Amino acid sequence: MWIGDVGHFKYEEIDFQPANSPGGENYGWHRVEGAHCFDPPDSCGIEDYTLPFYEYTHTGRPLRCAIIGGYVYHGSIPGLQNRYIYGDFCSGHGRIYALSRAEGRAMDNYQLSAEFVGVPTDPGGLTSFGVDGNGELLFSVYTGEVYRIIRKDISIEWDQLVPGETTQFTMRGLYPTSAAFLFWGVREGLSYVPDLSVQLNIADERLIDSAKSDSTGTVTIPVAIPETAEGKSILLQAAEPGDASPLYRLTFP
């Protein structure tokens, strides 16, 4: 069980209680706040308590003051599977995070708003999470609206299409720090890439290159376009483990 536990002056925390626990964990309030002595401010016997595996402070930007938890995701979006989805009342319903855990400690923690639609950017007001009948996550805001978190299509953009020159292909809407792959071909049709567990719409798919996306889910791959491409058309598709972009058709001048 994942527990989003509201702090007091300085820290918000996420606790974890394993399924085989007999219960009775003492998470320490009000003698500790997060993994720090609170009352008293030192020599609080902190070793006697079950400390959080993840915490964050109220300092810095964005402003954060009260954790809003949260569910472990088991819906249809591959990149969110088994991640704890949470936010904070003060940092806004435009900032929702996905946290993973392994070997008893927090792993990567990334913000969803750049990668998913249905997440407004207005500051403040996140109040609660819920789950619909299909296992998809909902969240409510202070003004009364309810939103669903859904996956946005991966997109591909490019700066020029000039044979003999280099084109910068930019893929957006990827999971942060994930492996991204750019494929091309000339025949439309279904093909399956087992290493990525993804189906493409290019029958004769060939890999152009791969790279790792940044913290915003964006990556740019430079591709040298041969002069022999003049007047020809190709199919283009981006992919990451478990998902792929729509199919793009490019014609070189």
pLDDT, residue 27, reads: 94
Position 105 confidence tier, pLDDT thresholds 50, 70, 90: confident
- Amino acid (one-letter) located at 119: V
pLDDT, residue 161, reads: 92
Residues 92, 108: one domain? yes
Count of domains for the chain = 2
pLDDT, residue 93, reads: 64
* Rounded mean pLDDT, 89-108: 82
Residues 110, 16: one domain? yes
Position 117 confidence tier, pLDDT thresholds 50, 70, 90: very low
pLDDT, residue 130, reads: 95
pLDDT, residue 119, reads: 52
Residues 163, 180: one domain? yes
Residues 18, 142: one domain? yes
> The domain spanning residue 169 has which CATH number?
2.60.40.230
- Amino acid (one-letter) located at 182: L
Residues 181, 80: one domain? no
User: How much is the mean pLDDT over the chain?
Assistant: 89
* Rounded mean pLDDT, 110-122: 59
> The domain spanning residue 92 has which CATH number?
2.120.10.30
| Cis peptide upstream of residue 93 (ω within 30 degrees of 0) | no
* Rounded mean pLDDT, 113-141: 75
Distance in angstroms (rounded) separating the CA atoms of residues 231 and 248: 16
The last residue of one of the domains, among 108, 134, 151, is: 151
Position 120 confidence tier, pLDDT thresholds 50, 70, 90: low
Q: Is the pLDDT of residue 74 over 60?
A: yes
What value, to the nearest 5°, has the Cα angle with vertex 15 and ends 174 and 141? Answer: 60
Q: With beta carbons less than 8 A apart as the criterion, state whether 189 and 201 touch.
A: yes
Residues 137, 187: one domain? no
Residues 147, 166: one domain? no
Q: Is the pLDDT of residue 116 over 60?
A: no
Residues 51, 138: one domain? yes
Q: Which of 57-66, 119-128, 156-165 has the highest mean pLDDT?
A: 156-165
User: From the CA atom positions of the chain, what is the Rg in Å?
Assistant: 23
Residues 31, 110: one domain? yes
The last residue of one of the domains, among 151, 186, 219, is: 151
Sign of CA dihedral 99, 239, 139, 143: positive
Tokens encoding 200 = 């493409």
Residues 50, 89: one domain? yes
Tokens encoding 44 = 């609080």
CA 36 → CA 9, 217, 247, distances in Å? 12, 34, 51
First to last CA, the chain: 57
* Rounded mean pLDDT, 35-41: 93
Nearest CA to 174 among 119, 221, 241, 83? 241
Distance in angstroms (rounded) separating the CA atoms of residues 121 and 141: 12
Position 151 confidence tier, pLDDT thresholds 50, 70, 90: confident
Name 141's bridge partners: 126
Q: Is the pLDDT of residue 123 over 70?
A: no
The last residue of one of the domains, among 93, 127, 151, is: 151
Report pLDDT digits (tens) over 11-22: 999 999 999 999
Residues 169, 231: one domain? yes
Report pLDDT digits (tens) over 171-222: 998 888 889 999 999 999 999 999 999 999 999 999 999 999 988 889 999 9
Q: With beta carbons less than 8 A apart as the criterion, state whether 11 and 36 touch.
A: yes
Report pLDDT digits (tens) over 39-63: 999 999 999 999 999 999 998 877 8
Residues 163, 143: one domain? no
Distance in angstroms (rounded) separating the CA atoms of residues 115 and 86: 15
Q: Domain range spanning residue 47?
A: 2-151
